[in-house]
Amino acid sequence: MMQILIFVIPVLILFLLSFFRILWEYERAVVFTLGRFWKVKGPGLIILVPFIQQMVKVELRTIVMDIPPQDVISRDNVSVRVSAVVYFRIVDPERAVVQVQNYLEAVSQLSQTTLRSVLGQHELDTMLAERNKLNAGIQQILDEQTEAWGIKIGMVEIKHVDLNESMIRAIAKQAEAERERRAKVIHADGEYQASEKLLAAAEVLSRQGQALQLRYLQTLSNIAEEKNSTIVFPIPIEFFSMFKKG
């Protein structure tokens, strides 16, 4: 009898301990009774009836999922490889277990297809310059799709947009041409502003004969300071008008 008790008591203790589970603060247990959903339990100490009830443990912490590089053809027919990262968390453990077979795989596949679909609708310049706008658009689409699974997409970030060598050289040439265009525009704008100032000065000098004479003398003084062996005397155009009248 004593040998039977020595064998039975430990088994009974282990059986009673199997009723209890401990869940961390960030964990929840989706409990099924005879295959049917019963309730969500946790955190802390919970009680389950062995062989009658089973649980599926779910984490509520934010999950960081890396999206592998995807081959994307932009709207302007440029082939690029784009990688991104998705941040999401479970807000409804019941739907995350009951409504989808494997929520991690489902989010991963949906993120890849959505990334290719959204970026394919934009040109390369938009991908490079407006990442925040694209991130928000992808996040909104994913959030709408995963809401039925009890999953909240917190953020999507595009990490890399990789170009081939030929495209990198083409972009460099385009940037160089753009800098040259800006330099020519700035030079032309400076010439235009200078011509306006010269026109205004000419109008002032034409109204004041004495000012024109002073300017003439100043020009002679500047020529003499250069120590030139030859001195050129500029003659105003108005000087020849007196011969025409004669």
Q: Please tell me the predicted confidence (pLDDT) of residue 199.
A: 78
168 or 39, greater pLDDT:
39
For the ranges 17-26, 216-225, 233-242, the one whose mean pLDDT is highest:
17-26
- Least confident range from 23-32, 52-61, 86-95, 169-178: namely 169-178
> In whole angstroms, how far apart are CA 132 and each of 85, 127, 135, 159, 176?
13, 9, 5, 11, 26
Per the DSSP assignment, residues forming a β-bridge with 151 are 90
Average pLDDT (77-103) is 93
pLDDT of residue 150: 95
Rounded distance between C-alpha atoms, residue 1 and residue 160, angstroms: 72
- Could you tell me how many residues make up the chain? 246
User: What percent of the chain shows pLDDT beyond 90?
Assistant: 45
CA geometry: angle 43, 52, 57, nearest 5 deg = 30
Contact of 119 with 111, CB cutoff 8 Å: no
Q: How far apart are the first and last CA of the chain?
A: 154
> Which range has the worst mean pLDDT, 7-11, 76-80, 240-244?
240-244
Structure tokens at 87: 């941040």
pLDDT for 224 equals 63
* Beta strands 36-41; 63-73: pairing state: unpaired
Write down the pLDDT at residue 7.
73
Tokens of 3: 């040998």
Q: What is the CB-side half-sphere exposure of residue 210 using CA atoms within 13 A? A: 0
Q: For residues 86 and 107, is the Cβ–Cβ distance under 8 A? A: yes
pLDDT digit string, tens, across residues 127-161: 888 999 999 999 999 999 999 999 999 999 999 88
Q: Which residues contact 37 (CB under 8 A, 6 or more apart)?
A: 30, 31, 94, 98
Q: SS3 for 223?
A: helix
pTM flag (> 0.75):
no
Evaluate if residue 96 carries a pLDDT over 90: yes
Of 153, 158, 131, nearest to 142 (Cα)? 153
Please provide residue 35's backbone torsions phi and psi, each rounded to the nearest 5 degrees: 90, -10
